[in-house]
Structure 1
Amino acid sequence: MSYKAKFRVWRGEGGEGRLEDFTVEVNEGEVVLDIIHRLQATQAPDLAVRWNCKAGKCGSCSMEINGKPRLGCMTRMSTFAEDETITVTPMRTFPVIKDLVTDVSFNYTKAREIPSFTPPADVKPGEYRMQQIDVERGQEFRKCIECFMCNNVCHVIRDHEENKPAFAGPRFLMRIAELDMHPYDTVDRRDAAQDEHGLGYCNITKCCTEVCPEHIKITDNALIPMKERVADRRYDPLVWLGNKIFKRSDAKKS
């Protein structure tokens, strides 16, 4: 069974562009990315779209469908009414290269700023021993496919371009939290999370969690616990007193 659907697709380069209207055939079981490919094949051969696996695992086909960040390959046409006009636009937070393709290099820049996993020097690969609870805590975050929709929807950078130099976004604050939870990671990441990567900018609206295609509880399981660990260090009076005492003791020894 097939029908004709109405699509409005963003066309343009750089900061200039417009929405163009199309009427395109839709067949049973298809997803939005199928329709974009049909548009390329039949009406707009120069339409640019980024995609790879078409299985919801590479994160390449991130776009905004009716104003919500989604994966084109995982958004089924059956979720829309047949007479509904479907609007497809590029991710708004990142600069448009052409049509639906955006420049997501911001995310790779932030990734490079985070120190990698740093185990103890005297523990060799194969000698790590972890409790199952520690394995499970970090396992959820490793499901991330780096679609960058969480960073795209985060209003801290979506609505405030000036925040980008100081804010890593949910994706990479989650990475910092994951490493900080690892029992074999020797880097103290709490001060850096707050001072260098902008953890304090996050006001836990959970919009990042809502759009995650892997259903990772970014806010509840990564960002809030990281905020709590930072607050314990900086504002817990007992921790503050302990830091003062130990620093004084270290100074005397030296």
Structure 2
Amino acid sequence: MSTYQAHFRIWRGDPGGGELTDYTVEVHDGEVVLDIVHRLQATQAPDLAVRWNCKAGKCGSCSAEINGRPRLMCMTRMSVFARDEVVTVTPMRAFPVVRDLVTDVSFNYVKAREIPAFVPPAGLGPGEYRMRQEDVDRSQEFRKCIECFLCQDTCHVVRDHEENKEAFAGPRFLMRVAELDMHPLDAAEEAGLDRRRTAQEEHGLGYCNITKCCTEVCPESIRITDNALIPLKERVVDRKYDPLVWLGKTIRRRKA
């Protein structure tokens, strides 16, 4: 096994301020950035704060920015960097710093609670739901989300404009709205809930300008923009501007 000395720069600080601190640390073949952070904790910086859990790319806890790109530390291999390259690790920029590499991601849980849950169809009990396989396949991709919030972090709508957070749910939760709107058994409309209207008016779908930056950083390779956000935008536009849709709604209201 070969080893070498790597140059790391890690942000150290708290809400009151901080700075990048330089470290030289040993690296072994096959290691990931989280391994190096753990070695720093064990040998040079025992008070370094970092959030992690599974170290297998499934819990989404160790999100950070590595050389300016939002990544999971446990899924970023040291082999992607040149041996003489400085590896800079900073906390996610879109969220408030708690300490060192740990950020306060409670914004995301607030937005999650704002999304109305799946509405079961009336008259069907547990075990009686039936779906076609193509409907299962369409939304299955979105269920791979590990809620690392890297897509939320890289989305410039909140990353560069803190004031937008109140009105914008972000790509992760707009994807959730899209998943529910695509679900053939979701009876939201029958219950008086218009998911497409709320996506636009309450969750800020119009703020998204489909730059695909969220898709680019997703560790699960979910095509957030192409398969969730763009189709949701299309359905919102159809509902609001399509004259045939308007006519159909008008006729239904008159019959009622």
Please, what TM-score do these two structures have when normalized by structure 2? Answer: 0.96
Residue identity matched to 1:111: A
Structure 1 residues 153-191: Cα deviation after superposition (integer angstroms, max 9, x where no partner) = 000000011110110000000001001111110113110
1:228 matched to which residue of 2? 234
Equivalent of 1:192, from 195, 198, 204? 198
**1:121 to partner: Cα distance:** 2.5
Moved more, 183-192 or 217-226: 183-192
Structure 1 residues 34-55: Cα deviation after superposition (integer angstroms, max 9, x where no partner) = 0000110111110000000000
Cα gap change, 1:174 to 1:238, in 2 (>3 Å): same
1:82 matched to which residue of 2? 83
1:249 matched to which residue of 2? 255
Structure 1: 5+ residue runs without aligned partners? none
2:157 matched to which residue of 1? 156
1:216 matched to which residue of 2? 222
Q: Aligned equivalents of 1:155 and 1:240: distance in 2?
A: 34
1:67 matched to which residue of 2? 68
Structure 1 residues 116-152: Cα deviation after superposition (integer angstroms, max 9, x where no partner) = 1111131111001100100000100000000000000
Moved over 4 A (4+): none
Q: Aligned equivalents of 1:144 and 1:60: distance in 2?
A: 13
Q: Percent identity over the alignment?
A: 77
Equivalent of 1:207, from 197, 213, 220? 213
2:191 matched to which residue of 1? none
Residue identity matched to 2:34: L
1:141 matched to which residue of 2? 142
Cα gap change, 1:92 to 1:126, in 2 (>3 Å): same
Structure 1 residues 44-97: Cα deviation after superposition (integer angstroms, max 9, x where no partner) = 110000000000000000000000000000000011000000000000000000
8 Å contact kept, 1:15–1:96 = no
Number of corresponding residues: 250
Q: Aligned equivalents of 2:79 and 2:48: distance in 1?
A: 24
**RMSD of aligned alpha carbons:** 0.8
**1:20 to partner: Cα distance:** 0.4
Q: Aligned equivalents of 2:252 and 2:45: distance in 1?
A: 67
Please, what TM-score do these two structures have when normalized by structure 1? Answer: 0.97
Q: Aligned equivalents of 2:64 and 2:239: distance in 1?
A: 39
Give matches, 1:33-112, under 5 Å. Answer: 33-112=34-113
Q: Aligned equivalents of 1:25 and 1:71: distance in 2?
A: 20
Q: Aligned equivalents of 1:83 and 1:19: distance in 2?
A: 18
8 Å contact kept, 1:15–1:95 = no
Residue identity matched to 1:236: D
Residue identity matched to 1:150: C
